[in-house]
């Protein structure tokens, strides 16, 4: 039972950390750099072929969110080994938080299989900036240990709602925190 609680905590670390990154707990950010866009555009068509709503990806703010999700998925599938793709799509503060999660994955020898599917993403304006609200599904993205055994209980939610604040940084849009909550969106 204790290892199950640990596994749930390991998987939800990015959720918990992102919630503490911004000054507003109901917002966050997503980003893309011109160089990251090319990599992510390739990744979106090759690695995230399951996406059902890429129409908003022409909007640089929404595209920034997709780039963020692709970079985060790459890190988790690599077991925390690949982190260089994260820096161009998020602020230093968020990168630091996600790096802690990557270290946890490496230490515990965890990794994800499959991909996260973004079901929809849209931009909204709020008093504290630009927000990307997105619904994503983790049904195909299992977290497993070094032996390939699932580490999360079957009751772990698979639908999540992101509320990410997007901010411009040196001519590109970047993730600056936000919240992720289980939601049947």
What's the pLDDT score for residue 73?
A: 96
Look up residue 46 and give its DSSP letter.
H
Distance CA 37, CA 39 (A): 5
Question: 0.85 cut: is pTM over it?
Answer: no
Cα 184–Cα 155–Cα 102 angle in degrees, nearest 5 = 85
What's the pLDDT score for residue 9?
A: 40
Nearest Cα to Cα of residue 143 among 181, 103, 184, 115: 115
Give the chain's residues under pLDDT 70: 1-57
Distance CA 121, CA 171 (A): 22
Q: Which helix (H) or strand (E) holds 76?
A: helix 60-77
Residues 6+ apart with CB under 8 A from 100: 13, 17
What's the pLDDT score for residue 153?
A: 93
Cβ of 49: how many Cβ atoms within 10 Å? 10
Which tokens go with 6?
A: 């640990």
What's the pLDDT score for residue 15?
A: 38
Cα 56–Cα 184–Cα 163 angle in degrees, nearest 5 = 50
What's the pLDDT score for residue 128?
A: 73
Residues 145/9, Cβ–Cβ less than 8 Å: no
């Amino acid at each position: 039972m204790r290892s199950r609680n640990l596994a749930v905590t390991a998987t939800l670390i990015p959720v918990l950390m992102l919630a503490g990154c911004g000054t507003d707990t109901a917002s966050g950010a997503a980003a893309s750099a011109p160089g990251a866009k090319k990599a992510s555009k390739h990744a979106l068509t090759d690695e995230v072929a399951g996406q059902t709503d890429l129409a908003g990806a022409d909007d640089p703010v929404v595209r920034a969110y997709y780039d963020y999700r692709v970079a985060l998925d790459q890190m988790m599938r690599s077991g925390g080994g690949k982190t260089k793709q994260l820096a161009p799509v998020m602020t230093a503060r968020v990168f630091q938080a996600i790096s802690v999660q990557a270290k946890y994955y490496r230490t515990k020898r965890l990794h994800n299989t499959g991909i996260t599917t973004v079901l929809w993403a849209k931009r909204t304006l709020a008093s504290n900036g630009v927000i990307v609200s997105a619904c994503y599904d983790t049904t195909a993205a299992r977290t497993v240990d070094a032996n390939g055994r699932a580490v999360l209980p079957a009751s772990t939610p698979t639908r999540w709602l992101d509320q990410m604040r997007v901010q411009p940084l040196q001519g590109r849009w970047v993730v600056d925190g936000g919240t992720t909550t289980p939601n049947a969106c």
